[in-house]
Amino acid sequence: MGKEDFLEEALDHSRDYVAYHVARKLAKLYPDKAIVQGNNWEFDLEDYVRAEKCSLVNETSFLPEIRTEWEGKGEDLYERIVHAWLNVLWRGHLIDVLLMSFTETCYRVRHQWIIADDKKIAEEFLRDVCEWNGEVHGEVLVFEDGSWVKSKELFDSIKSSTFDKLVLKGSLKEEIREDFDRFFASRELYQRHGIPWKRGVLFTGPPGNGKTHTVKALINHVQKPCLYVKCFDMPSDETVQEGIRQVFNQARQSSPCVLVLEDLDSMINDKTRSFFLNELDGFAENSGIMVLATTNYPEKLDPAIRDRPSRFDRKYNFDLPAEDERRAYVEVWNESLEAELRLSDQIKPVLVSETEGFSFAYLKELFLSSMMRWMTLSGSRSMNEVIMEQVALLHEQMVSVSSAAAAKVVNAKGVRKSFWR
């Protein structure tokens, strides 16, 4: 039976039967070979080949179906094998690899069968491909919908976020940077004194005050693998606990690394809290893992997460910028503007005073909206006039948003009262 006929016959069977059928057929076709079967997501043979870790023997490889995907505007097309029978040359060994994709429990799974002269070679090849792909090579490893995806785009997008462009209160920026530097440089010191080499850091504070920028700047600065978790949710009938387990298992494989849990309060609930705590600070070894979590609402976190020592050892609060921080932020922005857009020395202290209560996000919006307004007016008015008008507009917006939020709370209380009546 040819390889084309083999694949065609296998895919004619029901999805629940395909894997068993293929394994049985391969055992008959290759009675003197070792066959190792798996469905490991880390077995990304395409990336492994592109990295020249092995080579394809094109004369005998059979590629019946390759899916070409568009990653987005300006990005290269991405080719992904759906079904293939490949001959691979790896460390002097000729290995057959059968790849097949089919749906299981509502989502698509790709299976692999590795056929080699002996089991040790097949297992070493599987392990090497998975270990290499489990590492991060100039990407951010993103967990979403129950699986890990390498994102070079996300990694590239954070390169512009540096500590040089970050304005924080007092010595907060230096404290955070030094904290991370000391941790990753102190492995031997921790081990010598019998202290577990792991750390938990929690960024708290209202939205728009630099938490996300600081996370990005840290990832650029420490140059360690970054694992970014969007949520622990899993597809189909798998539990959130399984998602938490997968996240920490991958972090242990990638250590030393930074595990980012943004908006932690929205990721953990009463049902998953104990499981999360067990993975974070239980019997499992979390050596080399720096867990970096953020929250806008620390009061929503259970005290067992927020206050227990050895879980989140350090907490850094990102408050609304005070006068000194606003002054520094205005100077940084003003220096980045073209000469004709720059503010005068006389207006800058007035602007700093009038923006009390603004977050860094609102200050950024102030400069961006002022620049757009100035361009709309074709420079007929000075930037000094335009930016002070925008300050007034943003103040009105802030009052409107606050009033709407207060009304929502009042209405919610009224609904509860009427219900109990």
pLDDT, tens digit, 9 for 90 and up, residues 237-247: 678 899 999 99
Phi then psi for residue 173, to 5 deg, are -60, -45
- Work out the pLDDT band at 5, boundaries 50, 70, 90: low
CA contacts within 13 A on the Cβ side of 410: 6
Same domain, 277 and 237: yes
For residue 409, the model assigns a pLDDT of: 45
Is 223 in the same domain as 357?
no
308 and 167 housed in the same domain: yes
Mean pLDDT of 166-171: 91
State the pTM of this model.
Answer: 0.78
Helices (H), 289-382: 303-306, 323-336, 347-354, 360-376
- 43-47, 237-241, 243-247, 368-372: the lowest-pLDDT one: 237-241
Classify strands 34-38 and 107-116 as parallel, antiparallel or unpaired. antiparallel
- For the chain, give the mean pLDDT: 85
Q: Are residues 350 and 370 in the same domain?
A: yes
Looking at 134, 161, 179, which one is the last position of a domain?
134
Q: Mind spelling out the 3-state secondary structure of 225-285?
A: CEEEECCCCCCCCCCHHHHHHHHHHHHHHHCCEEEEECCHHHCCCCCCHHHHHHHHHCCCC
219-239 tens-digit pLDDT: 999 999 999 999 998 876 678
Residue 186 shares a structural domain with residue 302: yes
Number of Cβ atoms within 10 Å of the Cβ of 280: 23
Question: Would 139 be classed as within a structural domain?
Answer: no
Q: What is the identity of the amino acid at 410?
A: V
Same domain (yes/no): 11, 105: yes
| Domain housing 248 | 153-317
- Within a domain: 109: yes
Closest CA to 293 of 274, 309, 316: 316
Domain's final residue, options 296, 317, 338 = 317
- Alpha carbon distance 360, 77 (integer Å): 37
Looking at the predicted structure, is the pLDDT value of residue 420 above 50? no
Query: Rounded mean pLDDT of 130-138?
Result: 85
> Are both 108 and 127 inside the same structural domain?
yes
Output the pLDDT for position 374.
93
Task: Give the list of residues 6+ apart from residue 381 with CB closer than 8 angstroms, or none.
Answer: 374
Same domain, 305 and 182: yes
**pLDDT of 96:** 93
pLDDT tens per residue, range 274-333: 999 999 988 788 999 999 999 999 999 988 888 887 789 899 999 999 999 999 999 999
Question: Residue length, the chain?
Answer: 421
pLDDT greater than 50 at residue 65: yes
Please answer whether residues 214 and 293 qualify as being in contact, where contact means their C-beta atoms are separated by less than 8 angstroms: no
Q: Check whether residue 128 and residue 9 sit in a common domain.
A: yes
CA distance 357 to 320: 7
Domain count across the chain: 3
- CATH number for the domain harbouring residue 168: 3.40.50.300
Note whether residue 414 is domain-resident: no
- Statement: residue 406 has pLDDT above 50: yes
Verify that 195 and 282 share a domain, yes or no: yes
User: Are residues 46 and 162 both part of a single domain?
Assistant: no
The pLDDT of residue 72? 62
